[in-house]
Amino acid sequence: MNSGIFAGIGLAAACGWNTFTPLLVLALADRIVGGDLLNRPYEFISSVGGILIFLGLMTVELIADKIPRLDNALDVLGAVLRPATGALCFMAITNHDSSMNPIVAMAFGLVVGGVVHWDKVQRRIRLAHQGLGLGTPFVSVVEDFASLITAVCSVLYGVLGPIAAVLCWLMVRSTYRWGENFGKGTISRARQRQTLRR
């Protein structure tokens, strides 16, 4: 299997956690290597306009994703955007070494990005119900880190992409468990204080 396919898997998975960070990583990597990473018709990703747009959208997402309830609304948009950016990254990186047909690459990117996003949504819903979303800022930071690390590993050396994605997924899963316990513990302590005051 060519490294472009491995890199595509990693980038698409990273998009499932954060929509625009992998695109920005891909764009900056193309800039660093002098435009040799992204071929037509994907060179727009690393254009100045593209980088500024991705940077702006990434900033908005980074902030909104850490606010309970607002993060759930963001996930509704993410149901379309995250698989779509996953497909775009997969198509762009495999186009570099012609390792996969663009239509097949698009399908793979949609599936990988969609699966990671779906997993994130399910965990966020459970976090909101069991801990009132109190752990949301913490798990969001870990997901941002997971997306960044997976994307960087994918671009640096393709085969590291899926490995980083799996390891980061395990890290994210553990953080969600901690977030649920943190929320439950905080609620329990607040109720105990109210009881003592009465």
> At what angle are helices 21-32 and 136-156 packed, to 10 degrees?
30
Is the Cβ–Cβ distance between 140 and 127 less than 8 Å? Answer: no
What average pLDDT score do residues 7-21 get? 96
Tell whether the model's pLDDT for residue 110 goes beyond 60: yes
pTM over 0.85: yes
Instruction: Give the whole-angstrom CA distance, residue 61 versus residue 56.
Output: 9
Higher-scoring residue by pLDDT: 12, 124? 12
